[in-house]
Amino acid sequence: MSDLFPNYARLPLEFQKGSGTKIFDKENVEYLDLTSGIGVTNLGYNHPELVKVLHDQVEKIWHIPNLYESELQEKVAKLLAIEQDYLAFFCNSGAEANEAAIKLARKATGKEKIFSFKQSFHGRTFGAMSATGQAKIHQGFAPLLPTFDYLTYNSFDDLLKIDESVAAVMVEVIQGEGGVLPAEKEWLQMLAKVAKDNGALLIIDEVQTGIGRTGTFYAWCDYGISPDIFTLAKGLGNGVPVGAMLGKKELGEVFSQGSHGTTFGGNRLALSVAEKVIELVNQEEFLTEVQEKSTLAFDVLQKGLAKNKHVKAIRGKGLMIGIALDSSDTLQKALQKLRERHVLALSAGNDVLRLLPPLTIANEELQSGLAAIIQVLEEIENE
């Protein structure tokens, strides 16, 4: 009997080491990981430059509380602002970043009501869970925070519900856990306009889409908008726990001394890695290569699965890809058959096979993984 709470549906696999896109179990069996640890190891496992940075920092100092100045925090904050007028708050996870965003929006506007979207996912802490528009996440925790309500994603009509009583609107550019659903560009631009016109702040959750995942540094960069607040985690630390909330500089006075804080947020270990991650993703041609790999992936999948009766849609952006299937049964069969071939993929929603490969994946590895997916779905079709 385990001494752990049974809140995770764990697979009978345990991994001991990793290199690039490959991870190895206790028997040293190799698996191709098309999940990046759920969108975390964007630069792959044991990236040599990240290993060096972390090792160097371990030998200096691990933790200093936020009672003292931090040049490293200042440097990383400036890099994350991408030459725009944002201030940063560092924390340890996406949920914490979203909690900070919620607090900042309410304090800045003096209003309580926040709209998010059906099928969204913003975290498991109480505020972030209340912002999440999924009944299965809420189950057993009612009543939730009553100031949240949920609009329909990509619905222009629902934008009419945003009025001057709203503090903020919280949205993912691509709903990850909700089924890899991208926002329509015109809809997201209209959402930004309606929010601004009504004095509501626009919060964009970039926890899964940020740091190059969609082919731009942030997903919102490709939509011609500029959020008031946005949040990061996952790929920012490539496996070292770190989160960040960024807000426009005019919101700076709202988070005055003592209004928010964290013990571990912005520690030297996490931010030394984050600084190097940002440097690597911002290298010339890196994001261009992500876009090229994305084109390759969508082309291969669309051609290989065009006639498969179980496939309803292929959607996403960059290297965030969802294959919508006809049932949860088909999805679970596909995931199991992939594991038998030593290929790891994810689910999203009830019936979407989700791919989040490392952004550094080689074309040959990518094509090998995609071929396995096509073969598995062909097998299921012929059963």
pLDDT tens-digit series, residues 226-266: 999 999 999 999 999 999 999 999 999 999 999 999 999 99
Percent of the chain with pLDDT over 70: 100
Look at the alpha carbons of 232, 238, 239, 240 in this order and tell me if their dihedral is positive or negative.
Answer: negative
pLDDT tier at 284, thresholds 50, 70, 90: confident
What distance in Å separates the CA atoms of residue 272 and residue 154, rounded to the nearest whole number? 38
What distance in Å separates the CA atoms of residue 122 and residue 261, rounded to the nearest whole number? 20
Domains with residue ranges and CATH for the chain:
15-33+285-382 (3.90.1150.10), 50-281 (3.40.640.10)
Alpha helix (H) ranges present in the chain? 36-39, 48-58, 71-80, 94-109, 126-131, 135-138, 185-197, 268-281, 286-304, 328-340, 363-382
Query: Model-level pTM?
Result: 0.97
Residue 350: strand, helix, or coil: coil
Average pLDDT over residues 295-309: 98
- Least Cα distance to 53 among 242, 272, 209 occurs for 272
Q: What is the mean pLDDT of the chain?
A: 97
pLDDT tier at 23, thresholds 50, 70, 90: very high
Q: Would the pLDDT of 63 be above 90?
A: yes
Residue 286: strand, helix, or coil: helix
